[in-house]
């Protein structure tokens, strides 16, 4: 494995490696953010699951974090009219532009507006409403800590449309049960309906990842939805992803 870049920014350390099996790999503060080979699982699952379960077809989306462009790319592919992506660290975007141009490309789409600022502050100050809010953040230490807090979820509730839905990546249930607990407990204090789903992501710790979703109604597949597939996602995965192993149920109970 060759190291292509190591840079320390005001917020974090960013490294890029060229691996034998997974193409290029991006880490932040030593934790895997994505690889070229398996990024599709994370990016499909963080976008398509809430997209299909929102009570009305979402048209506008807000991404907090996601400076690599992968999540915005999925939203562009789905056909959202408006996508605002708020990333705190401009260096992540620059690194994506140079090393992950396929992902970065989404920021050049005219429907996407990229803002470089703290997601917590953006959410406190914006007057806009969104149908889908995706928290595509690093783990709850450093700049992302506030993104796992009850107050933050309350501010999010204030800018969600009535059919709106929010999803956050909530870590590896195996290695980071605290992150999952924080996300689930925090959301439960705010939203009427909170559920966790999981996906198989080979390069993330334990290969088993969780996402936690909140809404003020019970998310179900919209009537008349046409079956859809991604590279990982399909309609069986949409249903099956919510079936949780017992140890995961214990974490969020």
At closest approach, how far in Å is the CB of 113 from ligand SAM? 14
Residue pair 170/211 in contact by the 8 Å Cβ criterion = yes
Number of residues that bind ligand SAM (CB under 6 A): 26
At closest approach, how far in Å is the CB of 122 from ligand SAM? 8
Strand-strand pairing, 112-116 and 60-65? unpaired
Assess 40 for contact with ligand SAM (CB under 6 A).
no
Q: Indicate if 136 belongs to the active site.
A: yes
Residue placing its CB nearer to ligand SAM in the complex, 35 or 195: 35
Structure tokens at 203: 């390069």
Of 63, 29, 28, nearest in space to 43 by CA = 63
Assess 186 for contact with ligand SAM (CB under 6 A).
no
The Cα–Cα gap between 121 and 27 comes to: 25
Q: Which of residues 49-108 bind ligand SAM (CB under 6 A)?
A: 64-68, 86-89, 92
The Cα–Cα gap between 65 and 47 comes to: 14
Assess 187 for contact with ligand SAM (CB under 6 A).
no
* Beta-carbon count within 10 A of 35 CB: 22
Residues of this chain that bind ligand SAM (CB under 6 A): 11, 28, 33-34, 42, 64-68, 86-89, 92, 118-120, 136-138, 143-144, 146-147, 169
- Catalytic site residues? 136
């Amino acid at each position: 494995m060759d190291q292509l870049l190591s840079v320390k920014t005001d917020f974090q350390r960013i490294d890029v490696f060229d691996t034998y099996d997974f193409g290029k790999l991006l880490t932040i503060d030593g934790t895997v953010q994505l690889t070229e080979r398996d990024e599709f699982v994370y990016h499909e699952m963080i976008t398509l699951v809430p997209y299909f379960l929102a009570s009305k077809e979402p048209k506008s989306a807000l991404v907090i974090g996601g400076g690599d462009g992968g999540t915005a790319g999925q939203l562009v592919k789905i056909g959202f009219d408006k996508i605002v992506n708020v990333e705190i660290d401009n260096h992540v975007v620059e690194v994506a532009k140079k090393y992950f141009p396929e992902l970065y490309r989404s920021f050049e789409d005219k429907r996407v507006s990229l803002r470089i600022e703290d997601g917590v502050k953006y959410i406190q100050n914006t007057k806009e409403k969104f149908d889908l809010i995706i928290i595509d953040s690093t783990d709850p230490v450093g700049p992302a800590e506030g993104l796992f807090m009850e107050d933050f979820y309350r501010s999010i509730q204030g800018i969600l449309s009535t059919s709106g839905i929010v999803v956050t990546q909530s870590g590896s249930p195996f290695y980071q049960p605290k992150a999952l607990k924080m996300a689930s407990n925090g959301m439960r204090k705010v939203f009427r309906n909170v559920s966790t789903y999981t996906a198989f992501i080979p390069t993330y710790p334990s290969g088993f990842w969780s996402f936690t979703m909140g809404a003020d109604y019970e998310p179900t597949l919209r009537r008349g939805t046409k079956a859809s597939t991604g590279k990982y996602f399909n309609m069986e995965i949409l249903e099956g992803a919510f079936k949780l192993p017992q140890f995961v149920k214990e974490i969020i109970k």
